Amino acid sequence: MSRESLHVEPRGTVGVFRHYIRDLVYGANDGIITTFAVVAGVAGGALSAAAVLIVGAANLAADGVAMGVGNLLAIRAHESALAADGLPEQETYPWKHGTATLVAFVVAGVLPLVPYVLPLDEDAQLPWSAVLTMMALFGVGVARAAITREPWWKTGSEMLILGGLVALAAYAAGAIVAAAI
């Protein structure tokens, strides 16, 4: 038995980005931060650039797919709860949201790995990764402003500060464990 649906399929580029903004920001933020955490942890353990790339690629694949599947399942669970309460459907295509999360995760998450494929001095790779991470966080915030009409400096700064705190926590945890062993 079908139920009433409140879902409106987005139209146009801006409409599509507005519809998927939550998934895109969520995926991009997590992709940037978790990949940087992996890079910082592996680099902090004095492992090779090849190890950084191998573990980083494994993180992109496993965590990216997990994020996409998690988003899909969360939307399906939410829709099931709405149906159980006799409420209208809100999202017709949960798999599209899962895909948006996965793609944003991988595209943004690859940025902290870029210095490890460039011909840079080994000592410069982690600092450049940190710079690209911070630039990517700010850039995602600025891109968000283009869709939401919020001030670009505000959304860019918010993503940079909050993402930077998470990246700092990840780096600190890796440094503490590395020092302990």
Residue 93 has pLDDT above 90, yes or no: yes
- What does the pLDDT read at residue 37? 86
Q: For residue 90, give the nearest of 3, 15, 7 by alpha carbon.
A: 7
**Is 9 exposed, middle or buried (CB count within 10 Å of its CB: 0-12, 13-18, 19+)?**
exposed
Residue 97 has pLDDT above 80, yes or no: yes
- What does the pLDDT read at residue 112? 95
